[in-house]
Copies of this chain bind each other. A is one copy, B any other.
Amino acid sequence: MNERQRARRPGGRSARVGAEVHQAVTDLISERGYGNFTVGEVAARAGVADSSIYRRWGSLANLLTDVALTRLNARSPMPDTGSLAGDLRTYAANVAREITGPDGLAVVRLAVALSSMGQQGVQARDDLLAERTRQLQSMLDRARERGEHAPDAFAVLDHIMAPMYIRVLLGIGPLTPEYVDGLVDRLL
C-alpha cells in the first residue's frame, strides 16, 4: 500500500482531514471566488500542512475538481428509474434545480478557472468531465441492455445539459419542468 492509498482509506484521521480540507475550499470559493486563493491558504484554514494537500491531491486544480465532483455526485447523482426517459428526465430535473440554485454557476466558474490554470488545470477539468461522462455512460448502457435505443453521452451533454447551462448563464429563465422535459423528449 503506497502513501496515497493509505491517505485515502475510509474513516479515521484521513476522512476528517478530507472533510476539513473540502470545507476550507468551499468557504474560500464562497469568500473569494475561484482562482483567488492558494494551497497554503487552504491548508491554513483547514489546519493541515501544505504537504498533506500536495501528497493527497497533487495540485490545487485536482483539489478543486475533487470538491466539485463530491458535490455533483451528492446532489446530482445519476438516477436508475428503470427507463431511459425516466432516468434522463430525473437527471435533467436535478441539474436544473442545482444550476438555478444559489451557486448555480459553480461548475461553469470552476471550468473557467481551471482553463486558466495551465496544464494541471486542463488535466483536472478533463478528469472531472471523464468521471461524470463515465457515470452518464453507465446510465445509457443500462438502457441499451434493457433493449432501449439510447443516445450517446455527448448528445446528452449537447442537447440537454448545454441548453440549460447557457440559459442560466445568460439569465434566460425559468427552466420550467415543461422546458426541461421537452429537451429530453426532443433528444429521445
Contact = CB atoms under 8 A, between A and B. Distances in A.
Contact of A159 (B157, B159, B169, B172): B159
A105 interface: yes
Contacts of A167: 157-158, 162
Nearest to A34: B112
B163 A115 contact: no
A10 interface: no
Interface stretch (A37-45, A93-101, A121-129, A138-146): A121-129
A166 B162 contact: yes
Contact of A171 (B109, B126, B163, B170): B126
B172 A166 contact: no
Q: Is the interface of A mostly helix, strand, loop or mixed?
A: helix
B112 A171 contact: no
A115 B112 CA distance: 14
Contacts of A129: 170-172
Given A108-B112, A112-B108, A166 B171 contact: no
Interface string A116-159: 10000010011001000000000000000000000000100111
A111 interface: yes
A72 interface: no
Interface of A: 33, 105, 108-109, 111-112, 115-116, 122, 125-126, 129, 154, 157-159, 161-163, 165-167, 169-172, 183
20 contacts: A33-B116, A105-B112, A105-B115, A109-B112, A112-B112, A112-B169, A125-B170, A125-B171, A157-B163, A157-B166, A158-B159, A158-B166, A159-B159, A159-B163, A161-B166, A162-B162, A162-B163, A162-B166, A165-B166, A166-B166
